[in-house]
Chain A
Amino acid sequence: MKLSDFVVREAILTDLKAATKEAAIRSMVESLAGSGSVKSGEQEGIIAAILKREELGSTGIGKGVAVPHTKHPSVDRLVATIALSKEGVEFASLDGDSVHILFLLVSPPDRPGDHLRALENISRHLRNDNFCNFLRQAGSAPAVVELLEEADNNQLG
């Protein structure tokens, strides 16, 4: 599985203004809906499900990264988007730091393996400091897409 297989390029947000967890999640889900990758009308249900998941334990995994996610029956394949925040989003992360890189995932309920493989893929690249630094500096969606493709092709060293 590659990043560019499940990150919806039309839904990438490189200048997220949201300061709170809820606002950030809302912006990202609306962006996925705007790109047509989740059905229009399903946003509220998806946002509620992701927020409910956050109540059970933050998906802020440290190093300024969060991976909010949910299973939802309205998608038939795993879809994700990326948001970048210059100011940082308060996310109640494990290490207490605010979040600058967000990967939001929505997966079909019957495909837990795909969700695990997407997490594996995202975390493997996030361990690479080059990837994190370039991602935080990416100023446009095409720049993020280019970076994802370089990461997929192991061109980041």
Chain B
Amino acid sequence: MNPMPACTREVTVQLENGLHLGPSSQIVQLAQRFSSQLTIRKGDRVVDGKSMLDLLTLAAEHGTVLVLEARGDDAAEALEAVAALFARNFVADQPG
């Protein structure tokens, strides 16, 4: 049995106000375009990257290091897309 391909990537929250509702919503909307599962880990906590309520429970402040993990057929593309969102610091540090 072949395990589903999985990729991981470390990202840092550069948003001045942390990963609040606006950016979390951008992650969910982007992640939902892919069939792969996306999880986001902060320390020992792992949440579903396609769930707003899950993401908001991270309370990831500026400077927090998160580990993205995508698992599925389009894992590499999903990971690249979400990592790019962090790299360009989302649309802006608005809306709150």
A interface residues with partner B (beta carbon < 8 Å)? 53, 56-57, 59, 61-63, 67, 69-71, 94, 112-113, 115-117, 119-120, 122-124, 126-127
Q: For the side of the interface on B, what is the size category?
A: 20 to 34
Contacts of A69 in B (CB 8 A): 21, 96
Given A56-B22, A67-B21: A120 and B95 interface contact (C-beta under 8 Å): no
Most buried by B among A70, A115, A116, A126: A116
Contacts of B19 in A (CB 8 A): 116
| CB <8 Å contact, A57 and B59 | no
Given A57-B95, A70-B96, A115-B17: A63 and B53 interface contact (C-beta under 8 Å): yes
Of B16, B53, B57, the contact of A112 (CB 8 Å cutoff): B16
7 A-B pairs whose Cβ atoms sit less than 8 Å apart in the complex = A67-B21, A94-B28, A116-B18, A119-B56, A119-B59, A123-B56, A124-B57
Contacts of B81 in A (CB 8 A): none
Q: Other than A116-B60, A120-B59, give 5 A-B pairs with Cβ distance below 8 A.
A: A53-B95, A56-B22, A94-B52, A113-B61, A115-B96
| CB <8 Å contact, A115 and B94 | no
Given A56-B95, A115-B96, A116-B61: A61 and B18 interface contact (C-beta under 8 Å): no
